[in-house]
Structures are given as structure tokens and as C-alpha cells.
Amino acid sequence: MELTLERSDLCQVGTISHLNTLALTEDKKSGRLRIVVGDDNGDVQAFEVKRGDAKSIFKTSAGKGGVQAVCTGGGKVKDRVFCAVGQVVVGLGRKGKQFFSLQSSLVEPIRFLSVDEALLFTGGEYAHSRYRDGADDGFYTCPDRITAMHVQRFADEHHVFLGCKDRRIRMVQKDELIGEISTERPASALTVREVTSRAYELIVGDEGGSISCYLCKESTLNTKEAWSIGGDAKVTCLACFDLTRDGQLDVVVGRADGLVEVISFGDGVPTVAWSQSLNEAIHSLRCGRVSSSSNDDIVVCTFAGRITSFSNEPMKVDVDAEASRAKEKIELLKKDVQELREKVHRAREKAQTSPSKASSSNRGFVPRGECSLDAERACYQISLELPVPIDLVHLRSSSSLDLLEDGADATAVVSTCEPDPRHDLPGKPPTKLLAAFRCQDDQHALRFCVRTVEGEPGDLRCVVVARGQPKIGRVVDFRVPALSLHRRVHELTADQLARPKNILTLEGTFTSQNAHDWLRSCLPECPPRTQPRSSSPRPTLQKEETSAKADEQKEDIPKDSLRYPRDDDDEFAEILKEAQACFPDAVREEAKEPEAKEEAPPEPAKPPPILDLQHRLCFENVYTGGCVECDYQENKARICSDSISALAILKEHISKEAVRLRQEVSDHLVLDEQSIPSFLRLIDPKLKYQRKLAERVELIDAIHEIATAEEDTRWLEEEYRYIHEHADELRKEHAKAPQALQYLTGVVADFFVDAMKARGIDGRPQLEKLDQLLLAASYDLDKLLAFFNPSMHKVPSRDGLNSLGI
């Protein structure tokens, strides 16, 4: 279904860094809706749109600090607004007069707000409160940060949906949690699309840009998504409104990259019916009859404070009148601009003459910075936005990052330069990357991609310099965790659980929060506080069997895992003694069991024992597909991973951290031989694909040459014909990830070094051979697996074992 929406820029307010600070209130007299918007200065302004012009109705200060949320309220006629500023909720009447004020008892600022007659719902960082007539009426604390809130009246109850950072959407009623959905990514916007009086659909927009729908019937939430639509940029706003006028509510979407979309359900199938980009992050979006009593509008408000409407019926006044109106508007604007120029000029002169101590430039603007992991491309996408044009962005990183070419904006000129070692501090990680992006034209936002290397944590400091006089810059900091390419998952899949895994055991005196903090410092997306174990069943068929075994297997470390094949018996006895000294319970004399294991290789690999430890966190590597599971409680933690590299990194960081905090922690790493081929099998298809791609791209020119010389190319081999016909796609794909192969071989090389180190071998001298093997035309998995056989490399020395801490 075709939809045409006419865009008009209505007005301009101060910058708005918070979401949902725009509301539409009813006005009995005109039958149109008014726009009420709160900005970062704490000002709340109301506008009425008359013939495409926004006329101010009131402007009042709601308090000190930025307005963080605005919503409509009131009785039958929704003509009042409630605004959240800091910890205070203020109610404003039709004329902007304050009639209500509520101080929250919490220290958290109120970020989400919803009002239904006498009920008021707030959401802060972690807590959700419900007030009836200004008195406490309910309270719920989420385990992780709240990222979105929506309140839905259902029959006589109110369901509050809270989207949390831990990828769950919680359905809360008063103090109780009545439902929970696990999603792929944290929800960033929520809304409800009513279907019937007994059922509705919960629409979820997430940080990755997809929009999905969950059905809710009879106040029970279906945890399986009904449909889902993908997208590029984070969804910031969602609304439901019938813009297409087909009797079905459409979903209107606002995104962080400035795109506004309308999803309609023409044949019951969700399709994007209309979209337009404003190139500025959309921070609020509401629908209603604003510009006239017969037309529907989408009213959006951007980060920079621009308020724009999209009307579904173009103003059909005669064209000449329209033109003259536009001319008038231009004149008016010109006058405004002229006046402002003079004002600025005067102010500047004043600033120069007055010997005030503080220089100018202070408030100005707040940058919007976002850094998110792009799972598909395994890189971090960083976006920076200012309400004013950007002049230059300077980047400093203490972690070695690759700036990916294609992710950068086309207009910004990027250049990197060699860091000066004199500027590093001894004892602090040295600067690894210095880069500057010079922006051209009127660019308000800069987006670029960086690829991190696991095991190299660091800080990323961006100085964003704005255009204009005086020149001001703002600093935006990001932290790159050590295992930066991991993302949190609710639970591993059955397949991941079944993989052979290496185990890192930590014991000592520490609290569970300590252990949690260690993980938090190395892995992304960890909540600040420990989380209870999820009660949901684990996706494995052998669940009961394994849990029965759990107790007996808990501390078992196969003795032979400590033994290196070439060790002579004496040496082994010595190692064993040492190991037993460290872990008296762990290493038992159970020589037979591993042997049995060897004899029966076809037996499916056992999932690692489940520990009944209190807390559990699971992660997967978005690039290699490796996984990490962490179970921990007071004085004991156990981390399992099929990637020895991930464990090695964790071990290093945890011991460093423990030493720093003077905590006594002993760690012990058990290598499962089977995990190495299992992990290499994960990487192998990627490696093969990249090799093939590189080969194909190399052939393109030669094949083109043949194709131009010959009239008929049908005789070409199928593979070559494929290359000829898909040359452009192949080139694009290759250009997207030119260093992909290099990166992959790097991952394998790290893995090799870590795997050899775990056996007490210094693998570094062998790296050159490994590289040759990986890049050779004759590469195949078996050769690679054979290379990982430790007997190929030199006999371990005692030093090697010592370095392991055994």
C-alpha cells in the first residue's frame, strides 16, 4: 500500500538528549492536538500548529536539569502533561501552570514516565515505582538496567513492560513479576498494538534495529515472537497509529540514525510502507491530529531539538497560497536569523570585554555517543552525534583497534598517525591508535567501525570538536573489555553445552560480588550486581543425568589432563604432587576413567558438569562462535569455555585483578584435548570461505579479460562463470572485510599459542609455520588439526609449566 507523507519542519527547541520528551495534549476548542516538549535546559514548551506554523502557547521551566520524560495525563480530556526532571515529577496544566509535584524517594533519576488517571508509573535506572494519587502503590527492582518501559491498561489492570539490559522484557503488575520474555538483544523501545479487548501484541524494538512482536492473551505473554523485521540502527521510538487508514493500527518507528518508518499490515503481513530519514537521531515520536482536525501526523523530535511532522494528507490548499506562505516563512526566518546574528555579535563582544574568569563555551551541547557490538561483522560500531555540525573528531585508544574503512562516513576524511611513546605513562597501557576524522559539510553525526582484538582491553577516548565560534570540544569515553567480541546469551544452546570444554577453576577467599566484578571487567554486558541463576530449564536432553552426576563430578579433574604425553613418569609424579598440593581434592587418582574415554571416542562429548553454584553467566563469541560459561559463588568459581584463548585471557585478567585487590585466589586450568579440534572445526568453515573469496577476487580480472576477448563465454567452467557474473558482489564482499583472512589467521595463531602454553610449550617460534599452513593453497582442516598435536613441537621444559603456575 502506498503511503505519502508530507514533511514539514515545525520548530526548533534546545537539545534533547533523553527519549520520549514530547507529548501531544488535547485541546477541546480546536479539536487539534498540541505539542508539548521538554528539552535539556529544563524548559517545557507547548505549541499549536496552525496552517503549518507552530505557535507557542507557553514556555515554562520544569526544574533544574534536563527534562527526562514527558507524558500526557488528565481526566477525560487529556490536556495535561507530566514531566520528569531529576527525581521529581511535575504536572503542568493547559496554560503551563504547575498543579502537581511528586518527589521520588529514590536517588535514581526518573527516566520513564506514564500516567493513567490517578495512577503514575515511573522507571529509573533499575527500579520501577507505581503511585496512586501521589502515594506509593507498588515497587519492583530489575536485576539489570531498564532500557524501555511501556504501561498498558488491560481490563482493570495495568501491565507494565520493562525492557532490561539483560535481554529480558519483564511484565510487572504492582510488585509482582508476572511474565518474562528473553530476546536476542536488549529492547530499546516498547509499545502495544491492540488487537481485541482480550488480546494485544507487544511490539519490541531493540538495540540492533529489529522490531519484533509478541502476542499477549488473557494477560499471559507468549514468549515466542510472532513476527520480526530487521533494521540497521537502534530503534529509539515506537508508536501505533492507523496512518494508512485501513482499519488496522500501523507501527511507526523512529531510529537512532534518523530514519522514520511506517510498518503497515496490508494483508496481515508487516511491511515497511513508508520511510524517510532526518539524518538526526529521533528521540521522540508521537502520532495524532496535530496540523488539522482531519489529517493525521507523525510528530518527531530529534536529538538536536528539531520538531518535524509528517502529515498523511498533503495540504491541498492552492499552490500559490502555499508558495506565498513559504515565502513569508523564509522572510520570517531571515529576520530571525538576522536578529540572532546581531545578538550573538553583541554577546560575543560582551564576552570579550568582560574579564570574567570562566571562559565561554561551557554549556553549549552534550554529545550523544554510542558504541555497540555488531554481531554480524564482529566489530564495534561507534556513533557520535552533536546538535551542531562536527568539525573534527580525535580518537585515542590504548587498545589496538582496526579502523574499518567501509564503516566510516563517506564524507569524513580519516587519517591515523603514529603515537609518540614519550606521551605514554609508565605502568599505564600505551596509546596504540591515534586517528582524526575531519568532517566536511554540515555533518552532525559521525559513524565508524572498529575491530578489536580479544585480550587487549583498553580505553577509547573521542574528542568531538564542534564547528562555530568559540570552538568547543567534548570528550566521549568508551571502554573496550578484554573479551570484547563476546556477547551475553541467556543460556547456551544444547549444541554449545555439548561441546568439550576447558575448565578454569578459581578458589580462594572472595565474595560472589568479587567474582562477578572480575567477569564484569573482562566481559561486556554484565549487570553491575550478581544475578540469581535463571530458573528456566537448560536446553539439553541429558539434563537429569548430568545434574545427577554433578555432585560426584564437581571437583574432578582428570589426572591425565595434567600429564603431558612425553613426560617421563618421574616428572609426571612431580607435577602431580605439585598439583595436588594446590588442589588437594581436585586431582584424584582416577587413572582409569580417562583411559576409558579414549577407548570410546564415538560417545557423545559430555556436557561439562553443572555446578550448583549460585550465579551463572553465559557468553558467546560473535566471531568464532566459541562460548564461555561462568558459574560462581562465594570462594569458588568455575569458568568453562571451548576456546582456550578466552580462558587464558580471563585467567590473566582475574589474577591481575586479584593481586591488585590483595585477594587470595588460586586458579587452575584444565585442558580438554577434545576442545581443540572442536574449536578449530568452528573456525574452519569461516577460514575456508575467506580463502575462497580471496582466491575468487584474484581471478576476477583474468576472467574478465578472457570474457572481453571472447564473444561466447558459455564454455567457461561453472566456477569461473560464477566469478564472471558475480564479480561486483564478490568485490564488494571482499572490500567489506579485506583483512578478514588476516584476522582469522590471527585468531588461530593466538589460539595455537594459548593451547601450547597450556601444555607448557612455547608455541611462538612455530607461528611462522602455522601461518604458512593456513595460507597455503593446500590448506585443510586435518593438517591444521595435526599441527595442533603437541608432539609435533618441542618437549616441554619445566619453565613452561612454571609459567602456567603449576
Least spacing, CB of residue 660 vs another protein, in Å: 19
The residues, ordered by sequence, that sit 6+ positions from 504 with a Cβ below 8 Å of its Cβ are 638, 639, 640, 641, 647, 650, 651, 667, 668, 669, 670
Handedness of CA 328, 3, 203, 485 (dihedral sign): negative
Residue 414 within binding range of another protein, rule CB under 8 A: yes
Least spacing, CB of residue 396 vs another protein, in Å: 4
Rounded-to-integer distance, Cα 91 and Cα 542, Å: 57
Least spacing, CB of residue 494 vs another protein, in Å: 46
Site map 175..204 versus another protein, x via CB under 8 A: ------------------------------
The residue from 348, 656, 692, 732 that contacts another protein (CB under 8 A) is 348
Q: Which is nearer to another protein, 118 or 326 (CB)?
A: 326
Residue 353 within binding range of another protein, rule CB under 8 A: no
CB under 8 Å, gap of 24 or more: what pairs does 58-62 form? 58/95, 58/96, 59/96, 60/92, 60/96, 60/97, 60/98, 62/38, 62/90, 62/92
Q: Which is nearer to another protein, 313 or 491 (CB)?
A: 313
Site map 327..346 versus another protein, x via CB under 8 A: x-xx--xx-xx--xx-xx--
Residue 424 within binding range of another protein, rule CB under 8 A: yes
The residue from 107, 417, 541, 777 that contacts another protein (CB under 8 A) is 417
Q: Which is nearer to another protein, 28 or 422 (CB)?
A: 422
The residue from 161, 200, 303, 365 that contacts another protein (CB under 8 A) is 365
Handedness of CA 227, 232, 236, 241 (dihedral sign): negative
Q: Which stretch binds another protein (CB under 8 A): 78-86, 227-235, 348-356, 600-608?
A: 348-356
> Burial of 786 by CB count in 10 Å (0-12 exposed, 13-18 middle, 19+ buried)?
exposed
Of residues 245-304, which lie at the interface with another protein (CB under 8 A)? 304
Q: Where are the alpha helices (DSSP H) in 583-622?
A: 592-599
Strand order in the sheet with 259-264: 235-241, 250-255, 259-264, 271-277
Rounded-to-integer distance, Cα 15 and Cα 277, Å: 19
Q: Which is nearer to another protein, 196 or 362 (CB)?
A: 362
Least spacing, CB of residue 389 vs another protein, in Å: 7
Residue 474 within binding range of another protein, rule CB under 8 A: yes
Of residues 9-28, which lie at the interface with another protein (CB under 8 A)? 9, 12, 14
First to last CA, the chain: 69
Least spacing, CB of residue 742 vs another protein, in Å: 20
Residue 468 within binding range of another protein, rule CB under 8 A: yes
Least spacing, CB of residue 152 vs another protein, in Å: 36
Rounded-to-integer distance, Cα 627 and Cα 619, Å: 6
User: Do the beta carbons of residue 233 and residue 279 sit within 8 Å?
Assistant: no
Residue 425 within binding range of another protein, rule CB under 8 A: yes
Q: Which is nearer to another protein, 281 or 646 (CB)?
A: 281
- Residues touching another protein, count (CB under 8 A): 82
Rounded-to-integer distance, Cα 619 and Cα 602, Å: 28
Rounded-to-integer distance, Cα 202 and Cα 149, Å: 12
Residues in the chain: 806
What nine digits make up the cell of 477?
A: 569515553
Residue 382 within binding range of another protein, rule CB under 8 A: no
Site map 428..467 versus another protein, x via CB under 8 A: x--x--xxx-x---x------------------x-x-x-x
What nine digits make up the cell of 114?
A: 506514564
Residue 473 within binding range of another protein, rule CB under 8 A: yes
The residue from 219, 276, 361, 614 that contacts another protein (CB under 8 A) is 361
Residue 420 within binding range of another protein, rule CB under 8 A: yes
User: Do the beta carbons of residue 777 and residue 742 sit within 8 Å?
Assistant: no
Least spacing, CB of residue 371 vs another protein, in Å: 16
Closest CA to 450 of 405, 492, 417, 495: 405
The residue from 155, 321, 323, 735 that contacts another protein (CB under 8 A) is 323
What DSSP designation does 155 have? T
Closest CA to 10 of 230, 308, 258, 333: 308
Rounded-to-integer distance, Cα 628 and Cα 496, Å: 9
Site map 665..704 versus another protein, x via CB under 8 A: ---------------------------------------x
Q: Which is nearer to another protein, 416 or 739 (CB)?
A: 416
What nine digits make up the cell of 505?
A: 577453576
Residue 708 within binding range of another protein, rule CB under 8 A: yes
Q: Which residue has the cell 573528531?
A: 393
Q: Which is nearer to another protein, 6 or 180 (CB)?
A: 6
Residue 601 within binding range of another protein, rule CB under 8 A: no
What nine digits make up the cell of 98?
A: 504547575
Least spacing, CB of residue 793 vs another protein, in Å: 39
